[in-house]
Amino acid sequence: MQAIAKYVFIEDQFPGVTLGAIALPHGLIQIDAPPSPDDVRTWRASLMNTNSGPDRILINLDAHLDRTLGARAMECTLVAHEKTASVFRTRPMNLKTQGDETGADWESIIGLGNIRWSPPEISFTHNMELHWGETTVLLEHHPGPAAGALWVILPAEKIVFVGDAVLKNQPPFLDNAHIPAWLDALDLLAKDYRDYIIVSGRGGVVTQTVVKNQIEYLQKVQSELEALAKSRASSQEIEALVQPLLTACKAPAQKHKQYAQRLRYGLHNYYSRHYGANMVAHNE
């Protein structure tokens, strides 16, 4: 666990997402949970040493399985955007962990078994403020990576947790994304948060250079998909985008297979949702 300010901690050593914790006099504000039960236990033990007050809440930055699978085991009040809460309402009560290969980290965890969800007890539509001491914690809706994506902002400390809005050395999850909204959020991050510590949901603390790279990467994805839509692309032409986009994100070699599958799954689903009327049948 790394301290990035006096009462603010992150942890990026577990498979899945970068975790956050804000230790305040009233209690502990936790940001996301590890998907592995073993890692949940380790993380909870680490949080006992933060010298916070007795209350506990957990904020889910969006509905992605990597950050919500372990939420129930954290045993505290859950907070999320209303559109994230609506995702939970449509999920089956028990998740069988043999599912689609989306290139997510949770899919490589052995022995998860069936997962019981713990839906958010508190949700909001635009923004929400937490006052658990002198520090004000803002929750703001910033869709793009997902419809219910949010940021956790500490204005006084100039820290912002942005979830999957920015990823470092790995491709984005595109299957539930909306790239124009995502680019709007990143433009705001680049202009209004230049002097903030930016915490990526996958990669820990990142610089404005990483934000700029994310903008350029998503612009490239959008341009490529729009060009394919104009020509009524086949599934093979969408598949041809995978390797160039994997190379462009500078992913480590040991992750290439997983990240290629993430792009493959995301590109096909994004294209189907946004340009599906232009798609031609798979060539036999």
Task: Tell the residue number behind the tokens 């940021």, with chain if given.
Answer: 151
- For residues 68-90, give the mean pLDDT: 90
In this prediction, residue 115 carries a pLDDT of 72
pLDDT at 204: 94
Q: What confidence tier does 214 reach under pLDDT thresholds 50, 70, 90?
A: very high
Q: Would you say residue 167 has pLDDT above 90?
A: yes
User: How much of the chain, in percent, has pLDDT values that exceed 70?
Assistant: 93
pLDDT, one tens digit per residue, over 117-158 is 778 999 999 999 999 888 899 999 999 999 999 999 999 999
User: pTM for the whole thing?
Assistant: 0.91
- For residues 165-180, give the mean pLDDT: 94
Tokens, residue 7: 């009462």
Residue 191, pLDDT above cutoff 80: yes
Closest C-alpha among 151, 160, 143 to residue 199: 160
Q: CA–CA separation, 39 vs 47, rounded Å?
A: 12
Please compute the mean of the pLDDT values over residues 265-274 and round it to a whole number. 90
**pLDDT tens digit sequence for 16-61:** 899 999 999 888 999 999 988 889 999 999 998 888 888 999 999 9
Segments of 109-171 assigned E as strands: 114-116, 122-124, 127-131, 136-141, 150-154, 159-167
Q: Which token pair is 103? A: 């290139």
Q: Indicate if the pLDDT at residue 280 is higher than 50.
A: no
Strand order in the sheet with 2-5: 2-5, 8-11, 19-23, 27-31, 55-59, 77-81, 122-124
pLDDT at 17: 92
pLDDT of residue 282: 40
* 231 contacts 91 by C-beta, under 8 angstroms: no
Say yes or no to pLDDT of 281 above 80.
Answer: no
What's the confidence (pLDDT) of residue 221?
94
CATH code for the part of the protein at 2-207:
3.60.15.10
Specify which residues 95 forms β-bridges with.
115
Across the chain, what does the average pLDDT equal? 89
Q: Among 86-90, 99-103, 154-158, 275-279, which stretch is predicted with the lowest mean pLDDT? A: 275-279
Predicted confidence at residue 277, as pLDDT, reads 56
Judge whether residue 100 has pLDDT over 70. no
Number of other CB atoms surrounding residue 112 within 10 Å: 17
Question: Among residues of the chain, what percentage have pLDDT more than 90?
Answer: 58
Q: Is the pLDDT of residue 173 over 70?
A: yes
